[in-house]
Structure 1
């Protein structure tokens, strides 16, 4: 068995053990299910109540939720960012959201680099990865930084896709850290001021925006596949 295969097997074993522990230990399993349910409902108040229920462990729970939403993409991260700002204050919340997003991005990047495209397509989606591949091809070495500055580009899918490229880890982390900072600060500042109807309105607006972008990407990929399938094959030796 080569050294490369041994490393791959060891990594798979570590991830499998951690996953088995998370699913087998009832308190952990229940907590993960609750976190996914809260983020799926896109309800900032519920997210706040849940995080606050852990008392002094609230920042840790918030960070775990941010990492979980990255692995289980495409759960909405802005719910956690808004909740952090409302609970801890806008700049403290921004710092927590930024640092936990960095940890989430690093984890997605490492998982993708460790296990390759097969597992990555199960964690993210083939359609989304194909679109990010095109984005990387178009923008080259600046693709990571540009994608982090664009709110309509999936943060987590970019992290997964980047792990499939030869990009160096330090550059990925640097570009991610710089690129996500403006959006984190703005979301935290706005989220810290929103209450009641205004909060619901902005949440709905961001959710609608995310769904619209997802539909656009799916339609674009579907259209591209239709064109490819309808293109007539050219017989060998025939010139157009």
Structure 2
């Protein structure tokens, strides 16, 4: 059997395994559905209690939650980041959130590489992938870094879209890691203070505004640099 056929069989086999587990193992199906419902409700306290319920395994469960969220786009990631900071404190919470987000992004990238555009369109929708295509066309090699800095750009859609480009994995990895760090730190600091409900709204607004200002400043710098390269 040649390499191409073997790779195809591996891809099909992996998909069949996931589908069989979902439809034939009730506990697996219920667990997936319950997690998706929990995250979609945007209830930070419920996510916090869910993570805490696993005791010493809580950090690992949180990382798995973040990975699941990435693959099952467009479930929100910031809910988990807030909950992690509430449970573990902002510093360790940020580390867990960043690690989970990075692993999730890598999985999205490799899913795209393995299964191609048709599968990605079914996961995140044709409209979303078309928008990210335009984003990559506009910003070129800086697209990943700029997208990670802008809080209103879908983290998961960009990860999937990157896998459809010629971008190398390590270029994707480093741009994602650096770009994701500011938002993770800001959301984690906010999350640690989430119990102070009266002040939380103001903190969130200030944090998001600061992130957007930083993102646009870096975006302008990178675009100027890109334009200079093109002129040269």
TM bucket normalised to smaller: 0.7 to 0.9
Using the TM superposition, give the Cα deviation of residue 202 of structure 1 relative to its aligned residue in structure 2, in angstroms: 7.5
Using the TM superposition, give the Cα deviation of residue 34 of structure 1 relative to its aligned residue in structure 2, in angstroms: 1.5
Counterpart residue number, 1:121: 121
- TM-score (normalised: structure 1): 0.80
CA distance in 2, matches of 1:45, 1:19: 31
- The answer to whether the 8 Å contact 2:112/2:120 transfers is yes
Larger Rg: 1
Using the TM superposition, give the Cα deviation of residue 200 of structure 1 relative to its aligned residue in structure 2, in angstroms: 7.5
CA root-mean-square deviation: 2.2
Aligned: 1:6 with 2:6 = yes
Rate the CA distance shift 1:196–1:22 in 2: closer, same or farther, 3 A: farther
Counterpart residue number, 1:168: 168
Using the TM superposition, give the Cα deviation of residue 116 of structure 1 relative to its aligned residue in structure 2, in angstroms: 0.4
CA distance in 2, matches of 1:203, 1:46: 21
CA distance in 2, matches of 1:172, 1:16: 28
Aligned: 1:36 with 2:46 = no
Unaligned residue ranges in structure 2 (runs of 5+): 206-232
Rate the CA distance shift 1:122–1:200 in 2: closer, same or farther, 3 A: farther
Structure 1 stretches of 4+ with a deviation exceeding 3 A read 196-205
Counterpart residue number, 1:112: 112
CA distance in 2, matches of 1:167, 1:194: 38
Aligned: 1:75 with 2:66 = no
Counterpart residue number, 1:87: 87
Q: Describe how 1:150-165 pairs up with structure 2 within 5 A.
A: 150-165=150-165
CA distance in 2, matches of 1:41, 1:203: 22
Partner-residue secondary structure (3-state), 2:113: helix
- The answer to whether the 8 Å contact 2:190/2:204 transfers is no
Rate the CA distance shift 1:33–1:126 in 2: closer, same or farther, 3 A: same
CA distance in 1, matches of 2:142, 2:50: 38
Counterpart residue number, 1:218: none
CA distance in 2, matches of 1:52, 1:23: 28
- TM-score (normalised: structure 2): 0.82
Q: What count of residue pairs does the alignment treat as equivalent? A: 206
